[in-house]
Amino acid sequence: MSVWLRRLERYVRCLKRRERSARRSCVAPKTKTGGNKRGSRRPQRGLKRSQRRKSCQCRLQHFQTRLSQIILMFSYIYIMFQVFPRKSNLDTHRRTHTGEKPYSCEACEIKFADLSTLTRHRRTHTREKPYHCLTCQKTFALKSYLDTHRRTHTGEKPYSCEVCEIKFADLSTLTRHRRTHTGEKPYHCLTCQKTFAQKSNLDTHRRTHTGEKPYSCEVCEMKFAELSTLTTHRRTHTGDKPYHCLTCQKTFARKSSTLNKHRRTHTGEKPYSCEVCEIKFADLSTLTTHRRTHTGEKPYHCLTCQKTFAQKSNLDTHRRTHTGEKPYHCLTCQKTFARKSALTTHRRTHTKEKPYSCQVCEKKFRHLSALMTHRRTHTGEKPYSCQVCEKKFRHLSALTKHKTHTGEKPYSCLVCEKRFCESKQELINITKNGQTKERWVKYLAKS
């Protein structure tokens, strides 16, 4: 760099000297009146004075043009050295115009425009993390990840939003945040044309069309479409609950969906409200589900029987009626369940826990549904009514038992398949048939 600069400086000085010489030669010589004309400057041979002046002006203009070109070239080279200090940097930049990708991964054959990006990509296969934090010894695959992580210890947030002045630890988070003000959604799905503000959300959405689940659990081999879902799932095996409430010290496996929602049980905050009925909710997902009660939307459908559902969790539970899958099992008695809520309720039979209590009489219950039913003894509410005689009932089971108008018999005998209006009559019929104790146990377990 310094050698080229010295050469350019010498060349510029030479051009300036020639320019000054051309200027002096263009000055008209002074003629003496009378006397000897030997001291006067002779005109150029074969040229008149006007032609000589024109020639000098051309030479001067040529040097000035050449000097401007050299200065412009010097400025361009100086800028190039500032932006691309090495030839390899310039070569990499040129590939953004040509689209050339000469470097390819040996494992997955993905191609890259520069070697450094390929080197970083290889670490996704080798799991190499050469950069480590000196404070907590956590390791990272990229230096930029380490720099961002360090700010979690220092608390530094160098990037701030120009609109709301919220500060961020990394530039990418600020860029995503800005879109909350502009409403920009630059990423769109080619299948359904849905738009997204973040590329990661688009990548996750695409898997709803392809059914791809690239992340699998090492313990139970269950597959997931998102890495964050896999990370959360792993805690079901390890029992890790890294997030805890500062008020009641209760711990949680998830921060956004569980801890933040739990905090609002202390503060009573309900920041999300329905535009139709103005009911307020503590979390956005509950509001989104509630909105479907107004629109009647059921976006989730079963591929087997085409039944539709308003919530994805209901669809997941329904699918297990076709597959017979029961992924949740009790660690105490090894009993399996199709729903996580059923497992949670079952565990209380071992722990004797009764987390739901009546605010009027302080009676405690194991199930929320039992508490809701009990409250009606205080309020007198009877939400279930007969469509024939309009008689109202506090419990759904009482309404089912009452349906003698239609002749409906919802209960059937396990032995002879005889049908009854009440479940008690079914039990009486079983005893009349002289069934064994094992049959009773099997029946009770099923019920």
DSSP string, 74-100: HHHHHHHHHH-SSHHHHHHHHHHHH--
Q: Are 339 and 347 in contact (CB under 8 A)?
A: no
Strands 328-329 vs 411-412: parallel, antiparallel or unpaired = unpaired
CATH class of the 86-128 domain in this structure: alpha beta
Position 428 scores a pLDDT of: 47
Position 134 scores a pLDDT of: 92
In 127-245, which ranges are continuous DSSP H helix?
A: 143-154, 171-182, 199-210, 227-238
Q: Are 377 and 360 in contact (CB under 8 A)?
A: no
Q: Where are the beta strands (DSSP E) in 11-50?
A: none
**Whether pLDDT at 22 is above 70:** no
Position 160 scores a pLDDT of: 92
Task: Report the Cα–Cα distance between both ends of the chain, in Å, rounded.
Answer: 86
**Whether pLDDT at 80 is above 70:** no
Percent of the chain at pLDDT > 70 equals 72
Q: Where are the beta strands (DSSP E) in 245-377?
A: 251-252, 272-273, 280-281, 300-301, 308-309, 328-329, 336-337, 356-357, 364-365
Strands 308-309 vs 103-104: parallel, antiparallel or unpaired = unpaired
Comparing 22-31, 253-262, 401-410, the range with the smallest average pLDDT is 22-31
Name the phi and psi angles at 139, rounded to 5.
-110, 155
Q: Are 402 and 390 in contact (CB under 8 A)?
A: no
**Whether pLDDT at 153 is above 70:** yes
CA torsion through residues 260, 265, 269, 275, sign: positive
pLDDT digits (tens, 9 = 90+) for 187-200: 999 989 899 988 88
Residue 397 banded pLDDT, cuts 50, 70, 90? confident
pLDDT digits (tens, 9 = 90+) for 209-248: 888 888 889 888 889 888 888 888 888 888 888 888 888 8
Residue 115 banded pLDDT, cuts 50, 70, 90? confident
Tokens coding 112 = 């890259």
**Whether pLDDT at 204 is above 50:** yes
Q: Are 426 and 409 in contact (CB under 8 A)?
A: no
**E strand or H helix that includes residue 399:** helix 396-402
Position 98 scores a pLDDT of: 85
pLDDT averaged over the chain?
78
Position 404 scores a pLDDT of: 64
**Whether pLDDT at 19 is above 70:** no
| Higher-confidence position of 367 and 158 | 158
**Whether pLDDT at 75 is above 70:** no
Comparing 135-139, 181-185, 240-244, 437-441, the range with the smallest average pLDDT is 437-441
Q: Are 368 and 351 in contact (CB under 8 A)?
A: no
Count of CA atoms in the C-beta half-sphere (13 A) of 34: 0
pTM (predicted TM-score): 0.36
